Amino acid sequence: MNYRHSYHAGNFADCLKHLVLVQLIKLMQKKDKGFMVLDAFSGTGIYDLHAEFAGRSPEYIDGIVKIWDYADKNSNTKPAIIDYIEALKLVNESQRYYAGSPFLISKLLRPQDRAFFIELHKIDVQTLADNISDFKYECECKSLNVEHNDGYQSVKAKLPPVEKRGLIFIDPPFEKPDEFRNMINSLKEGLKRFETGVFAYWYADKNATETKDFLKKVKNLGKKYLNVSMQIQNKNEIKGLVSSGLVIINPPYGLNEALKDTMGQLTTILGKNHGAKYTLEAFENI
């Protein structure tokens, strides 16, 4: 495993992914009943944007920094973008640290909610456990559990949750050619165990044919879902990732509306040229 998320923390893909994550949690919290979050590809939880590690590839300059700048200067910033910025602020007031999914989740969860954070990288899981334990020291009121395990295995092991309410957040590194296949298999396994769960799967849109094939397979699952993706410039202009998205199975009520309201502005902020665009598709499928 070579992937280290620190190189990418706060980039355009993280911005869309974490904006959606924040909305998912907020919308699920419209009901008082607690729920379980399974963050199956957790990373280390928090990233120092000034560290040399991140400094070698400062992708956050074209990501979260653009959003912070825009929101500073524009009073028309969309509510979902403000929610995302506010959630990051819960982790640190300054703009030095960037919160990954475990810290956003930990900060936003209520005492009646709980979370499992799964990470396979031996060093990263220890860093994550230390980071979460520092956080728990501030507040013992939440059930936050870090485990060294395979994320896809955890989908089998942790579902269904006793609460019968749950968010499964899958954010793999996309380094292996079979990631889409693993994701579809995992979605099938997950839905078999927990058909009403909210499943949010992030994908790297590197190859149009493979992405299309994946989306077709998601559609064939016959569930209600949303597909949201954003491209920041034409694909052939540079080497590297310029487009990514998320599919959300059983999206909570209000997510489609929130993204409809936000995606145009988000794409304008993060887009680099005329090649920037977004997709938002909602399928009822029932």
Ligand X SMILES: C[S@@+](CC[C@H](N)C(=O)[O-])C[C@H]1O[C@@H](n2cnc3c(N)ncnc32)[C@H](O)[C@@H]1O
Listing DSSP states for 90-125 in one string gives: HH-SSSSEEE-HHHHHHHH--TT-EEEEEE--HHHH
Which of the stretches 79-87, 106-114, 119-127, 245-253 binds ligand X when contact is defined by CB under 6 A?
119-127
| Binding string, residues 121-160; x marks residues near ligand X by CB under 6 A | x--x-------------------------xx---------
| Binding string, residues 26-45; x marks residues near ligand X by CB under 6 A | ---------------xxx--
The DSSP 8-state label assigned to residue 207 in this structure reads -
Any catalytic annotation for residue 171? yes
CB of 115 to ligand X, least distance (A): 12
Report 158-177 residues binding ligand X (CB under 6 A): 171-173
| Closer by beta carbon to ligand X, 3 or else 68 | 3
CA–CA separation, 245 and 201 (whole Å): 8
Q: Which of 14, 83, 171, 205 is catalytic?
A: 171
Asked whether 172 and 179 are in contact (CB, 8 A), the reply is yes
Pairing status of strand 97-99 against strand 46-48:
antiparallel
Using alpha carbons, select from 115, 140, 142, 114 the residue that is nearest to residue 42.
115
| Closer by beta carbon to ligand X, 31 or else 89 | 89
Total number of residues binding ligand X (CB under 6 A)? 18
CA–CA separation, 162 and 70 (whole Å): 42
Asked if residue 3 binds ligand X (CB under 6 A), the reply is: yes
CA–CA separation, 115 and 125 (whole Å): 15
CB of 172 to ligand X, least distance (A): 6
Amino acid identity for residue 9 in this structure: A
The footprint of ligand X (CB under 6 A) covers 1, 3, 5, 41-43, 100-101, 118-121, 124, 150-151, 171-173
